[in-house]
Structure 1
Amino acid sequence: MQTSPAAADTPDIEDASGRVVGTTTVAPAGGSTTVQAVERTVALLEAMADAGGQATLSSLALRSGLPMPTIHRLMRTLVGCGYVRQGPGREYSLGPRLVRLGDSAGRLVGMWARPRLVELVDALGESANLAVLDGTQVVYIAQEPGRHAMRMFTEVGRRVPPHCTAVGKALLALMPAEQVQELLRHTEMTAQTESTIIDPAAFAAELERIRRCGYALDDGEQELGVRCVAVALDAPVLVAVSVSGPSTRMTDDLVAAAVPRLRSAARALLDGMARNAASPA
C-alpha cells in the first residue's frame, strides 16, 4: 500500500518513553488519517497470503516495494506477536494467532450472508455454501442445508484443498496464473477421486475455462456421486458461493438454472460488502 502523495505531513507516533512506534499519514482536510506502519504491516500479511502463506524477505520486498530493513523490522514484530512464524530457513509463514481472527471474521461473514444462501436453497432445493481462500486451503464459513432428506452437508470451518472443489477452482480462477502457480507450489495436488485434476497443464486449462464461462464445476472430483457449481466474488476478500447435491439431482439443467442465481447472490454479497465498507465508523 502506498501513502497518498497529497498527504500534508507524516508525524511519528511515539510511546510513553518517546520511542517511535509508527508513522501517521495526515491526509488533507476532509480526508482520513492512516498509520503508515499499520498499512505496511497489512500489506506484508496480504502478500504472504497471496504467496500461499509462506514467503522470503526478498520475495516480500519484490511484492510490496518496501525497503528490506523496514520489512525485516515489521516481520520481527509480527513474529514476536505470534502472527508470523520464522522457519529454520529464510522463509516466513503466517502464524497461528491469525486463525482465531480468521475464524471470528468468517463466522460474522457467514451470519451476514445467510439470507442469500437461504434464497438459493429455496429456489433450487440443494445445499448452498459460502467459502473463502485461506492460505493454501479453502475454508467453508457458512452453509444452508438443502430441503431434501438426502442432502449434502459440509461442516462450517472445514478446510479442503482448492484444486478438487468448485469453490476452490472458482477462487483460483480469479487470481493471476503466476500467483496460482506459487500457491499450488505449497500444495499437494493429490487425487481425491479418479476424476480429480492433478496434472498442472490440465488444471491451468480448467481455470482458463472457468474464467471464460464465469463459473466452476466439481463433477465428483472431491467426492464420488457429488456435484457442485460455484461462482466467486471479484472482491478484496476472495469469497465463493456454491450449490451442491447428489449427481443424480445436480443435472445439467439444474446447473444451468443455478448459475444465474449464484451470480445474482454474488452481486448482492459484493454490494453488501461495499456498503459496509463505506459506512462511517
Structure 2
Amino acid sequence: MQRALRLLEAVASHREGAPAKQLARETGLPLPTTYHLLRTLTHEGYLLREKGAFFLGDAAVRLAGSGAVQNRRIKIENSLARWRDEIGVPIYFALYREGEVELVAVADTPSAPAVEEWADFRETAHAHAIGQCLLGQLDSKTRQDHLDRYPVESITPYTVRNRQALLDRLGALGRMEPLVERQEYALGTVCAAIPLTAGSTVAAMAISVPLHQEDRLLPAIERLRTEIGALFSSVVLSISI
C-alpha cells in the first residue's frame, strides 16, 4: 500500500505525466515492482496511461476529493467543539443540499447533550429550528417542493400546525433573525438557529437548551451569530462544493 501511494504521489507531481522509468527513479522502487504497481493502479482506475506516460485517473481524483471534504468536516467539527466549550451548549451545523437536510456535524458533551434524533431530521425539517432555518432560506418553489415531499405533520403537541402556519412564520422572519423553536421537535427542549451565508449555499447553525434554561437561549445564539459567522462562511462554501 505504501509503495502504491508513493507512486500516486509521484504521478501527481507531473501534470503532463511521467514514464515508468522516471517514476521508479523518483520513488526508489525497483523497475519490475514499479511496472507491476503501475499496471495494477491503471487496471483499478487510479492511473491512466497515454503514449507511455502515466497520469492520475478518475479513481485517484475522487479519492483526493473525498479526503479534502473529510478534512473540511474535521475543521468544522473542531470549530464547533471550541464554541460548544465557550458557550456551554450543544451546537449543530447543517446544509440543505440536493433537496435534503444534511446534518453535517454536532458538538455536545455528557453534561450538555444534543437532542436525540428520534424522528428523521430530513423528514421533519418543519419541526426543528435548524430545519426551519434552512427552509426559510429557500426560494418559494424549492420550499414548496420540499414540503410536498415531506408534509407538515405533528411531532409533538407544540409542532407548527400546518403548512400555511409554517410559511407565515418563515415569511415573518427578518433576514438574519434567529429562528426559535420551543418543544416542536423534542419535549422539554428549546432550540434556536441562525442562517449562514456563503454564496448560494444554504446552511445554518443551531443550539439547544433544556426548557428550564430557556433564558440562556437567545444570549447564546446571539453570541454565536456575532462571533463566528465570518469564520464559518469560508468553511461552509468549501464543504458545499
Residues 156-235 of structure 1 aligned to structure 2 (within 5 Å): 159-212=122-175, 214-235=177-198
1:118 aligns with 2:81: yes
- Indicate how the Cα distance of structure 1 residues 153 and 104 shifts in structure 2: closer, same or farther if over 3 A, else same: farther
1:151 aligns with 2:113: yes
Quote the offset at 1:137 in angstroms.
Answer: 3.8
Is the Cα–Cα contact under 8 Å of residues 137 and 161 in structure 1 kept in the other structure?
Answer: no
2:154 & 2:182 partners in 1: Cα distance? Answer: 13
Quote the offset at 1:173 in angstroms.
Answer: 1.2
1:243 & 1:113 partners in 2: Cα distance? Answer: 15
1:243 & 1:167 partners in 2: Cα distance? Answer: 9
- Indicate how the Cα distance of structure 1 residues 240 and 154 shifts in structure 2: closer, same or farther if over 3 A, else same: farther
Work out which of the two has the higher radius of gyration on C-alpha atoms and give 1 or 2: 2
Quote the offset at 1:154 in angstroms.
Answer: 4.8
Is the Cα–Cα contact under 8 Å of residues 143 and 154 in structure 1 kept in the other structure?
Answer: no
Counting helix residues as a fraction of each chain, which structure ranks higher?
2
1:130 aligns with 2:93: yes
- Indicate how the Cα distance of structure 1 residues 213 and 252 shifts in structure 2: closer, same or farther if over 3 A, else same: farther
Choose between structure 1 and 2 for higher RCO, CA contacts under 8 A separated by at least 6 residues: 2
1:248 aligns with 2:212: yes
Structure 2: gaps (5+ residues) = 1-65
**Number of aligned residues:** 171
The range that moved more, 195-204 or 260-269, is 260-269
- Indicate how the Cα distance of structure 1 residues 167 and 262 shifts in structure 2: closer, same or farther if over 3 A, else same: same
Is the Cα–Cα contact under 8 Å of residues 106 and 114 in structure 2 kept in the other structure?
Answer: no
Quote the offset at 1:213 in angstroms.
Answer: 5.4
Secondary structure (helix, strand or coil) at the match of 1:238 reads: strand
2:96 is aligned with what amino acid?
L
Identity value in percent: 20
2:69 & 2:183 partners in 1: Cα distance? Answer: 27
Quote the offset at 1:207 in angstroms.
Answer: 0.6
Secondary structure (helix, strand or coil) at the match of 2:212 reads: coil
1:204-236 CA-partner distances (Å, limit 9, x unpaired): 121123335521112111111111111121223
- TM normalised by structure 1 equals 0.53
Is the Cα–Cα contact under 8 Å of residues 91 and 107 in structure 2 kept in the other structure?
Answer: yes
1:105 & 1:239 partners in 2: Cα distance? Answer: 19
Secondary structure (helix, strand or coil) at the match of 2:173 reads: helix
1:128 is aligned with what amino acid?
I
Q: CA RMSD in A?
A: 2.9
1:175 & 1:122 partners in 2: Cα distance? Answer: 31
- TM normalised by structure 2 equals 0.60
1:104 & 1:207 partners in 2: Cα distance? Answer: 36
1:174 & 1:208 partners in 2: Cα distance? Answer: 10
Is the Cα–Cα contact under 8 Å of residues 152 and 244 in structure 1 kept in the other structure?
Answer: yes
Is the Cα–Cα contact under 8 Å of residues 152 and 246 in structure 1 kept in the other structure?
Answer: no
- Indicate how the Cα distance of structure 1 residues 105 and 187 shifts in structure 2: closer, same or farther if over 3 A, else same: farther
Is the Cα–Cα contact under 8 Å of residues 107 and 141 in structure 1 kept in the other structure?
Answer: no
